[in-house]
């Protein structure tokens, strides 16, 4: 029944859109449509569904651009399909119709784009979160555990002989012996700075490093980088500054990302340019403009949301 209805409706719409339909065709279509309330209902539903095309039409988006966007490959989807195969059972689509907020189920501290926040914990310790960072507090009688889910924080640890202070990231666990240290981890790349007192770092695969006060180290999936004397640059964000001395442009752009709302693209051809300077973090657009005056780069802005840094 439905198949027949759909086939008839398809036939009408294919004819009407051809550019060759006559006035008589249109008349017969209207008669068909009015002859049964189900025909009328289906035609109305189709018109509603296709109403979504008014948005690209109003914005003057061409069919070609739209097609390119729709052709976006879903590569990771295939990875997942393979990985999760076997565990699934079929459920109705209606179940997934209305996504809701998550606030009921997640308890955490989170900062948004361009936002820094200081949080005082139950034991008097303080956490300073850089922009786009998130952490969970899991204190109990045995230990004080902070889970850094993403981003960067500076910990000022209150003394408590009975409960060690630890930070767990995706790829490492930190044990603080002193009272001030900094940790950052984004997309598997981490950095720890022991500002005052040592920090013990256990990487996920079992490698351990004792980082002495006044030193910093980077780590990644393959291991620790060289231990270096720490500079004031690593903590400059606490005061709202970005401080760099002879660092690659890519590193500056990475530091700006948590402060930039939208897409920030860096042409690999200029990623290695060396940069030195002291910048105010709260205005990332201005930092880009300043960089463009001193480096052979060009900043293209489609909207404030979408910035490309390329060779001049």
Partner 1 sequence: MSGADTSHSDYVGGLFRSHYDWLCSRLHRHLDSRAHAEDIAADTFVQLLSSPGVVPIRQPRALLTTIAQRLMYQLWRRRDLERAYLDALDNDETSTAPSPEDLAQMLEALQAIDHLLDGLPAKVKATFLLSQLNGLTYPEIAAELGISQRSVSDYMARALNRCLRLCLE
Report which secondary-structure segment, H or E, holds 9. Answer: helix 2-16
Looking at residue 237, the DSSP 8-state letter turns out to be: G
Nearest CB to partner 1, comparing residues 23 and 89: 89
Residues 288 and 309 sit within 8 Å (Cβ to Cβ): yes
Phi/psi at 215 (nearest 5 deg)?
A: -125, 160
Closest distance between partner 1 and the C-beta of residue 51, in Å? 10
- Cβ atoms within 10 A of the Cβ of 244, count? 19
Q: Is 202 exposed, middle or buried (0-12, 13-18, 19+ CB in 10 A)?
A: middle
Give me the residue label for tokens 């295939």.
Answer: 78
- Closer CB to partner 1, 188 or 240, in the complex: 188
Closest CA to 150 of 165, 137, 132: 132
Q: Which is nearer to partner 1, 34 or 66 (CB)?
A: 66
**How near is the Cβ of 291 to partner 1 at its closest, in Å?**
21
Residue labelled with tokens 């209150």: 158
Query: Looking at beta carbons only, is 212 or 263 nearer to partner 1?
Result: 263
Contacts of 209 (CB under 8 A, 6+ apart): 200, 201, 203, 217, 224, 227
* Minimum CB–partner distance for residue 18 and partner 1 (Å): 5
Query: What is the smallest separation between the CB atom of 17 and partner 1, expressed in angstroms?
Result: 5
The bridge status of strand 223-224 relative to strand 215-220 is antiparallel
Q: How far is the CB of 89 from partner 1 (least distance, A)?
A: 5
Taking the least distance from each CB to partner 1, the nearer of 88 and 226 is 88
Least separation in angstroms between CB 278 and partner 1 = 30
**Alpha carbons 139 and 72: distance in angstroms, whole number:** 44
Q: Which is nearer to partner 1, 87 or 229 (CB)?
A: 87
Residue 16 CA to chain centroid, in angstroms? Answer: 45
Q: Which helix (H) or strand (E) holds 64?
A: helix 63-70
Q: Tell the smallest beta-carbon distance from residue 297 to partner 1 (Å).
A: 17
Of the pair 105, 229, the CB lying nearest partner 1 is at 105
Considering all CA atoms of the chain, what is the largest pairwise distance in Å, rounded to the nearest integer? Answer: 91
Contact 143, 156 (CB under 8 A): no
Q: In this complex, which beta carbon is closest to partner 1, that of residue 50 or of residue 311?
A: 50
Shortest Cβ 15–partner 1 spacing (Å): 9
């Amino acid at each position: 029944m439905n198949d027949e209805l759909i086939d008839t409706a398809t036939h009408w719409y294919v004819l009407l859109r051809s550019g060759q339909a006559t006035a008589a065709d249109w008349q017969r279509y209207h008669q068909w449509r009015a002859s049964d309330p189900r025909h009328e209902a289906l035609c109305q539903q189709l018109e509603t569904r296709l109403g979504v095309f008014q948005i690209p039409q109003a914005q003057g988006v061409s069919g070609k651009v739209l097609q390119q966007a729709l052709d976006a490959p879903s590569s990771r989807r295939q990875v997942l399909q393979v990985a999760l195969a076997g565990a699934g059972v079929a459920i109705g689509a209606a179940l997934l119709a209305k996504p809701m907020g998550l606030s009921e189920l997640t308890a955490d501290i989170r900062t948004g784009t361009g936002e820094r926040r200081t949080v005082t914990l139950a034991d008097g310790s303080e956490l300073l979160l850089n922009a786009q960072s998130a952490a969970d507090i899991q204190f109990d009688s045995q230990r004080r555990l902070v889970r850094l889910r993403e981003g960067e924080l500076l910990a000022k640890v209150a003394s408590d002989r009975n409960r060690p202070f630890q930070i767990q990231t995706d790829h490492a666990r930190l044990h603080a012996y002193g009272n001030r240290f900094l940790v950052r981890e984004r997309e598997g790349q981490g950095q720890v700075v022991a500002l005052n007192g040592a920090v013990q770092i256990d990487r996920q695969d079992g490698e351990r490093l004792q980082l002495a006060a006044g030193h910093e180290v980077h780590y990644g999936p393959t291991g620790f980088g060289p231990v270096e004397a720490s500079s004031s640059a690593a903590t400059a964000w606490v005061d709202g500054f970005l401080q760099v001395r002879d660092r690659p442009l890519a590193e500056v752009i990475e530091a700006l990302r948590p402060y930039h709302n939208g897409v920030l693209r860096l042409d690999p051809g200029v990623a290695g340019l060396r940069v030195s300077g002291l910048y105010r973090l709260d205005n990332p657009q201005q930092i880009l403009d300043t960089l463009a005056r001193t480096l052979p780069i060009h900043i293209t802005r489609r909207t404030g949301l979408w910035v490309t840094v390329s060779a001049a």
